[in-house]
Amino acid sequence: MQTDFSYAKQEEIKKKLRAGTFDANQELIDLIRLGYDPVTAKELLIKVIKSHKDDLYEETKEAKASEERGNVAFAAVIMITTFLGMFGGNNGLIILISIVVACFCGYYGNQENPIPGMVGYAIAAMIMPFACGFYFKGRSTILNLEILIPLLFSFGPGLLIKYILSQILPSD
C-alpha cells in the first residue's frame, strides 16, 4: 500500500483544483483503484487541498504587496515630480534628479516587470517640469486644482508608454 503522493500526482491534483475540474469523490475512487487505503487516500487528498489553499493564500498575499508597492511608488513619483516641477524650474540638475527618483520608484513599484515602470515614470518626470513651466508661465496666482492639468499632460503619455511596454515586454 502506498502512503504518500508523488510530486507529479500532487501537481496533477493542484492543476485540477486550479482548473475547477476537481471532484473529490471521483479522485478518492481513482486513488483507491491505484492501491491506496481509503483512509490514507482521504487524508492525502485533504493534505494536498490544504497545500493548494496555502499556495493560493501566498499568491494573493504577494499580489497585494505588489499592488501596494505600485501605489506607493506612483504616489511618490507624483509628489516628487509635482514639487520639483513647480519649484525647481527647468534646471537640468533638478530634472535629472526627478528622472532618477522616478526610475527608482518605477523599479520599486513594478518589480515583476521593472522596465516599463522605469521608462514610463521617467518620461512623466521628464515632461512634468516643462508642462508646469508652460502652463504656469506668466501667472501670478493659481488654484490648487490647476496642478492637475500639468499632471495630466506629463503622466498621460508616461502611463500610456508604461502600459504599452508592459504589454510588449514579458515579465520575468
Assigned C-alpha cell, 1: 500500500
- Region of 25 (left: φ > 0; alpha: ψ -120 to 50; beta: rest) is alpha
Q: What is the DSSP letter of 4?
A: S
pTM over 0.85: no
Please give the average pLDDT of every successive group of 10 residues along the chain, which has 172 residues.
Answer: 77 87 85 84 88 92 93 93 79 88 94 91 91 82 82 91 90 68
Q: What is the pLDDT of residue 73?
A: 94
Q: What is the pLDDT of residue 75?
A: 94
What's the rounded Cα separation, in Å, for the pair 28 and 67? 39
Domain boundaries, the chain: 7-57, 68-168
Cα dihedral 105→110→112→117 (10° resolution)? -90
